[in-house]
A and B are shown apart, each in its own frame.
Chain A
Amino acid sequence: MMELSDLVKLANNEWDDLLNGDDPVLLVGNATCGRSAGSGIVFRTLKNRINESGIKCKLHEVGCIGMCYLEPIVAVYTPGNPLLFFSGVHEKEAAELFESYVIKKEKAQGKVIGFLGEGDSDGHKHLGDITVMRPQERLVLNNCGLIDPTSLNHYIANKGYSGLNKSLGLEPQQVIDNIKASGLRGRGGAGFPTWRKWQFARDKDSDIKYLVCNADEGDPGAFMNRSLIEGDPHSLIEGMIIAAYAIGASTGYIYCRAEYPLALERLRLAIKQAEEEGLLGKNILESGFDFRLKVKEGAGAFVCGEETALIASIEGDRGMPRPRPPFPAVAGLWGKPTIINNVETLASVSRIFQNSPEWFSRFGTEKSKGTKTFALVGKVKNSGLIEVPLGTSMREIIFDIGGGVENDKQFKAVQTGGPSGGCLPAELIDLPVDYESLADAGTIMGSGGLVVMDENTCMVDVARYFLDFAHKESCGECAPCRLGTKQMLDILTDITEGRGSMEDLKLLEDLGKGIMKGSLCGLGQTAPNPVLTTLRYFRDEYIEHIRDKKCRAKVCKELIYYDIIAEKCTGCHLCFKVCPVSAISGDPKEIHVIDQELCIKCGMCLEKCPDKFNAIEVYAGSKNHG
């Protein structure tokens, strides 16, 4: 077995040769998001072109660098030049890029995002200086999009497993003390101090202890964990080994969603690589410490993000929570002390030991240390995966990094924390994003989904959407959650369909508070949050739905109508043909009319009406009542 220092030597040579060597290097962003944008075919195209040309050239898949809106992204290194990142590299562009930039060594053409490394930058910006990247601090995501996630050497050459090596030289208690000094709090949602959780398990005397990584990223609108695992799986594994050493666990599980096939593949490969090099298994790095790691596939139940439900699921049962205490740290998996940590928490642990607790705690605020990854999505221009110091304002995140709202529409709200969180209004745009500020505003940090909403998003519909989700995902064990979410959903459906009454608003609030107090687990205790926050910040919209029967965002079908603008209609007859219920009348070349009684508001006519006429319009309210 090799010592870590030998592994490092080998890895460093390989890495230096890659980015300072004599051969060109092509890195294709090939995580799930890249593949959805077509990077798979780009990778194959480049592979074929390299083979045909006979040029010695290195081609690697890398993870997601976070700028999903620019996918497919390819980075190219040629000797003497820095590593240049190109955006929008589809099949055709990939072939051209290879031809002109790599073979003919012409000036870089196409859309250059920025560069990294040494050499003639040719007027391009450093990747760290472009507007999307400047406010970011990538502590956890630093390898994503730069290293080949299937290469253990790439990870090791970038400080990988040096954190493990360092911690194995410490006493387990010192490892916990270091995490305490770093100020790291759980990145899965509630922000419980990581060291304290570990201390509970460490202090509990038991023959067997377990460590579980919760990678069952269930929040709709979130993909931070998926990207991290796909782009840098070893950072999670290293963090798990350190955590296991600190609490004295001999077996670990990664509970990962079955909907993430690529992440599962990368994890299994990374575990195998780590085992082969003596970084996992018996007598890790000659320290005498043993740790086995297994992957468990989740089966699609949101409630399994809850610790006790997750444990039931690993045991082979229905994923239903049980009352706490006893907490899993005392009696968890098969009755043994069990620590459950989030993916990002564990990856942060690796970075803390690769660097230092002080380094980590320099970022963030007094109570919220370090950085947080977010999936910035919805109606935002630059959607993708970002990482910022805790305490960064929503304004910086949405407008500086995110580039503002898509199509320059009016910013209305941002949703944080998924179905357990809430919607923050435009007035709170300067709110610093840290655990306490978000809690004061009625929402939670959650695992990191940030969904931006604009004037065309109906807040009542959004609240209904989340309640529908919570109701479907409720495991059915306790009555407040099972029946309460159903009641709230029915009331919200009534409001969005024009049958609401003003008393419903008070009823929603009372029910919501009751469900929060009476539910057994976190799912029920937080399920009313999206409703309560929208009632708090967007009450006007609820009132409009109820009293004026209007949906100003033009989303709720029963509260809008379609109409043909007589002056613009040329009688092209296209809408007549497409209407599935024959609600449109009019002969060709005559002005057409929609029968409001028959119209099912499917929107087909609006889509069909040619842009040059633009004769169909959607209005809030109903035609007869204004």
Chain B
Amino acid sequence: MIEAKEIDFSLYERNPGELIPLLQLVQRESGFLSDESMKRIARFTGVPLSKVYGVATFYSQFRFKPKGEKHIMMCRGTACHVKGAPRIQQEIENHLGIKEGETSDDMKFSLENVACIGACSLAPVVMVNEDVEAKLSPERIKKLFGKSEKKK
């Protein structure tokens, strides 16, 4: 991860159509969109800051808080739903002590719901960083994320 202010924008032409690709670039390189980086994108593209926020908050991909070392994307697609995703999610939330959209205090885990990963034939699935974990059961959650970090 690199600091948002150090990300190279030189390949971009400063036009408003580049707003979403720039937001994606900053998030990819620095993990999330900080207030500072939003201001920098606004200045660079000439798009008002209010609109930069308007666009960024519209899309579920964008995140305004840093994610954990292990970023868990819980698939909430139809196939996963009928094969028990709600139960898996409950188990993850219980096990890690965080809810959907949150990052654990020690920054080890963050949990996010996503529409559909597209690995439906292996449902239910989660993505942990870049890896897909397939055919989950509540039992496997503990193995997957190790001992609970949650304080009782």
Contacts and interface: CB of A to CB of B under 8 A. Distances in A.
Do A and B associate with each other?
yes
Interface of A: 32-33, 35-37, 68-69, 71, 217-223, 226, 257-261, 296-302, 313-320, 375-379, 383-385, 415, 418, 449, 451, 453, 457, 462, 465-466, 469, 473, 475, 580, 602-604, 607
B118 A313 contact: no
B29 to A, nearest CB: 14
Given A299-B24, A451-B82, A607-B138, A223 B58 contact: no
Nearest to A221: B78
B115 to A, nearest CB: 6
A213 B16 CA distance: 22
Contacts of A260: 118
Contact of B23 (A223, A299, A465): A299
B19 A378 contact: no
B121 A383 contact: yes
B79 A378 contact: yes
B83 A36 contact: no
B61 A300 contact: yes
A68 B94 CA distance: 31
Nearest to B115: A220
Contact of A378 (B61, B78, B87, B138): B78
Given A383-B120, A603-B87, A315 B17 contact: yes
A36 B62 contact: no
Contacts of A257: 118
Given A220-B76, A316-B55, A580-B94, A297 B21 contact: yes
A45 B61 CA distance: 34
A397 to B, nearest CB: 14
A205 B118 CA distance: 39
Interface stretch (B64-72, B102-110, B122-130): B122-130
Contact of A375 (B19, B60, B121, B132): B121
Top 6 nearest A-B pairs (CB, nearest first) are: A221-B78, A220-B77, A68-B121, A299-B59, A36-B132, A223-B118
A301 B134 contact: no
B121 A384 contact: yes
Among A33, A259, A299, which residue has the most Cβ atoms of chain B within 10 A? A299
B121 A69 contact: yes
11 contacts: A220-B81, A221-B120, A222-B116, A257-B118, A300-B61, A301-B59, A302-B115, A316-B16, A378-B78, A462-B82, A465-B81
A25 B54 CA distance: 52
B79 A313 contact: no
B18 interface: yes
A316 B20 contact: yes
Contacts of A71: 122
B148 interface: no
Contacts of B134: 36-37
A10 B122 CA distance: 39
A385 B139 CA distance: 28
B49 interface: no
B114 to A, nearest CB: 6
B117 interface: yes
B55 A317 contact: yes
A261 B130 contact: yes
Interface in B1-59: 16-21, 23-24, 47, 54-55, 58-59
B115 A318 contact: no
A223 B24 contact: no
Contact of A259 (B16, B62, B90, B114): B114
Given A37-B122, A299-B20, A465-B81, A219 B59 contact: no
Given A258-B61, A379-B83, A602-B90, A36 B119 contact: yes
B59 A300 contact: yes
B121 A377 contact: yes
A604 B18 CA distance: 49
B79 A221 contact: yes
A261 B130 CA distance: 9
A317 to B, nearest CB: 6
A457 B138 contact: no
Contacts of A453: 82
A261 B73 CA distance: 14
B78 A415 contact: yes
A557 to B, nearest CB: 9
Contacts of B139: 607
A180 B118 CA distance: 32
Nearest to B122: A36
A36 B79 contact: no
Nearest to A380: B121
Given A68-B121, A385-B121, 6 more contacts: A32-B132, A35-B132, A68-B122, A220-B76, A220-B80, A302-B115
B118 A259 contact: yes
Contacts of A475: 58
B70 to A, nearest CB: 17
Contacts of A376: 121
Contacts of A320: 58
Given A313-B20, A375-B121, A219 B132 contact: no
A226 B125 CA distance: 16
